[in-house]
Amino acid sequence: SLKKLPQLTAAQLSQKKMTEIFHKDMLQMEHEKKVARVRQLEVMWEAADRVEQKRLSRLLRDEQQERQMEEAIQKAEENKRIKELQLEQEERLAAELARLNHEKLKDEKMRQQIRENSIHQYPHLFPPILRPHKSCEEEQSAASSEYRFPPLFLKLFHREKQLKLEKMRATQRYIEDFKREQAIWRRRKREEMEEENRKIMEFANMQKRREKDRMAKVQSSEEKKHKLQDTQQEREELEQIRQELYLEEQAEKEREKEMEEIEKKIRQRLELRQTYEEQLALKKVVLQAMKEEEETFRQAMLAKFAEDDRIEQMNAQKRRMKQLEHRKAVEKLIEERRKQFLADKERELEDRELEKRREGNIHAIVEEERQKLLKEHATKLLGYLPRVSKLEDKMELCGTPQERS
């Protein structure tokens, strides 16, 4: 029954190992799916970050354009105020010029009225040409009698008349120029007002567009808010997936550790049993060889001692005593050789056990260092280790085909 127990345990272990390998393959596939999901979520996060950066850049650009537009509006209002002041000054200047012209015309009219009244009141002081309401005959007679006035008087009269006409023409030209300039100024002001109205309409339209853009941004912000909430939920799900992966990896490590311990114990039991059987067989061989060698050695030593002492020449009493002495000496030598042989065999077995333990320790250290390196670089190698190597590692746990059989 003791011989059948390890064989049944090895068969069950082999079947269990195959089941574990299938289970680990399924876990590996699930793990790869989760890793792919993690990478997909990370790519989505990077895209969301890029969209957020573009949105911030667009907001900064819109704020800069809005600030420039406000500065342009302030500058336009300042120019409008300056133009209003200029217009007010020009209007005051025009009013002053109109007042001066009015005063001048009023003075001229008053002088004309005084001259006319003086001509009617004092006709003998003025020549007939200056008297109004004359008939053609009287004018002709006055013209014919013009030679009676001094030439200097006539010259001064015509000169004064010419100066008055020139002043009137100059005043008329000034008034016409003023009206023309005023019309030009009014046309310019009208154009400026139209330009300002156009700018105001553009600003109003811009405000409408800005309000529309603001509402669109608010809607976009709400959508992004919901999207961020979804992203946060995805991050939480990703963190949960990572935690599950970590727990699964820890559980897998624990299972592998337990399986390694079980395999180690089974191998130790098999090795101990094999060693025990080998020791029993070796002991039988050694005992048989020792018996044969002792018998041969005994006969040889007895013959040698008998030859040395010439036992045949002694009497019976001495021969028996001498044979007993020789036998004791031979037994003592045989006992010493047996002890030496057993000591050599024990030392040889100890050396073999020591060599086995040393190889086991070296193998354990190598495996420990390999596991340590895998643990240190697990995050970097996650998802990149070939599945073939993992299957080979799993098959190594089952031993060689001869050992499994």
d(CA 142, CA 132): 12
Asked whether the beta carbons of 286 and 341 are under 8 A apart, the reply is yes
pLDDT confidence of residue 119: 57
> Where along the chain do its domains lie?
43-137+147-236
Instruction: Return the SS3 of 164.
Output: helix
Asked whether the beta carbons of 14 and 404 are under 8 A apart, the reply is yes
d(CA 345, CA 283): 10
The more confidently predicted of residues 148 and 190 is: 190
pTM: 0.25
d(CA 112, CA 114): 5
pLDDT confidence of residue 124: 53
Cβ atoms within 10 Å, residue 242: 13
- Chain segment 181-212, per-residue pLDDT in tens: 878 887 887 888 888 778 778 877 887 888 88
pLDDT confidence of residue 129: 47
Q: Is the pLDDT of residue 292 over 50?
A: yes
Range in 50-59, 201-210, 310-319 the model is least confident about: 310-319
| Of the candidates 96, 76, 77, the residue with the CA atom closest to the CA atom of residue 88 | 96
Quickly tell me which residue has 């001259």 as its tokens.
Answer: 115
Q: Which two tokens stand for residue 67?
A: 């600030």
pLDDT confidence of residue 4: 38
Residue 150 φ/ψ region, left for φ over 0, alpha for ψ in the -120 to 50 degree band, beta for the rest: beta
The more confidently predicted of residues 250 and 9 is: 250
Instruction: Return the SS3 of 301.
Output: helix
Share of the chain above pLDDT 70, in %: 75
The more confidently predicted of residues 189 and 390 is: 189
Mean pLDDT, to the nearest integer, of 262-272?
A: 78
pLDDT confidence of residue 212: 85
Asked whether the beta carbons of 405 and 32 are under 8 A apart, the reply is no
pLDDT confidence of residue 315: 63
pLDDT confidence of residue 304: 74
pLDDT confidence of residue 301: 74
pLDDT confidence of residue 388: 39
Mean pLDDT rounded to a whole number for the chain: 72
Tell me how many helices (H) and strands (E) the chain has: 7, 0
